[in-house]
Homo-oligomer: A and B are copies of this chain.
Amino acid sequence: MTWDEARRGLYRQLEPTARPNGLSRLNLALVGLIIVAVFSAILETEPAISGGRELMFDKLELAIGITFLVEYVARLWIAVENPKFAKSRFPRLRYALTPIAIIDLLAVLPTLFAFGGGSSLLLRFFRVLRMLRLAKLGRSSQAWDHIRNAAYEKRYEFGLILGLLVVTILVSSSLMYWAEADAQPDKFGSIPRALWWSIITLTTVGYGDVYPVTMLGRVLAAFLAVMGVCLIALPTGLFAASFTEAMDKHREELARKKERKD
């Protein structure tokens, strides 16, 4: 077996778009490894679980990091087989600059830095960065396309609602600042501080750590709650409708493709 044949064979194994039906065994194994990596990253943060097993978690992290590094280099090597980059003068560089390749590179980095120690906020940052490995799943799924299409279809509506939402939140915060700043200066003493109340109330989460206590504040809050609740539910309804539409289109396309085959 020549190098070229090996590269072509590996390309067929690693590149999901090279196989029309389902994932190859190698890709399924990589999906499994991503899930293991994410669960290990989650469990390592809990002292009740990782306490006394630091070495085991470190070894696992190292093994995962090396595997992902090998995968990254392999994908770089086979990039020349991809018809998408075949016409380019530097197919490997072109591939290395695609979003999914950058994500692959970022997924290797935490392993290198995690052993460097440093401040607790920075250490946690690298631990959390490992969760980015979830994004590697994007290669093996068409799901992201459906979601993106549904959002893109209604981009004008979403922009409009986002603008309205920002205005509503700013106006709510200003009014509550006006009404409550004297009574609760630490919670409503400025408009930026009142923003926390606005968002937690308008999403109906309502933790109860911040709420109006004056008569004026309560009357304003009551009106804002009813109006704002109505507004924040708008994008939900729109997105649900758009998502259903996008999925129906996808089904029709699949049906048409099948028909053409028969």
Contact = CB atoms under 8 A, between A and B. Distances in A.
A55 interface: no
A125 B233 contact: no
Contact of A42 (B147, B182, B192, B226): B192
B124 A178 contact: yes
* A38, A41, A120, A128 interface centre (most CB from chain B within 10 Å): A128
A218 interface: yes
Interface string A19-52: 0000000000000000000100111011111000
Contact of A190 (B46, B163, B211, B235): B46
A203 B203 contact: no
A196 to B, nearest CB: 5
Interface stretch (A61-69, A70-78, A87-95, A238-246): A238-246
Interface string A152-164: 0000110010011
A97 to B, nearest CB: 25
Contacts of A240: 233-234, 236-238, 241
Contact of A243 (B163, B201, B234): B234
B181 A124 contact: yes
B204 A243 contact: no
A79 to B, nearest CB: 27
Interface in A157-175: 157, 160, 163-165, 167, 170-171, 173-175
A229 B229 contact: no
B46 A193 contact: yes
A46 to B, nearest CB: 4
Contacts of A45: 177, 189-192
Given A42-B191, A237-B237, A237-B241, 18 more contacts: A41-B191, A42-B174, A45-B189, A46-B192, A121-B182, A124-B177, A127-B178, A128-B177, A134-B170, A165-B226, A203-B225, A204-B204, A205-B205, A206-B208, A207-B207, A236-B237, A236-B240, A238-B243
Interface of A: 38, 41-43, 45-49, 120-121, 124-125, 127-128, 131, 134, 141, 143, 146-147, 156-157, 160, 163-165, 167, 170-171, 173-175, 177-178, 181-182, 189-193, 195-196, 199-201, 203-209, 211, 218, 222, 225-226, 229-230, 232-241, 243-244, 247
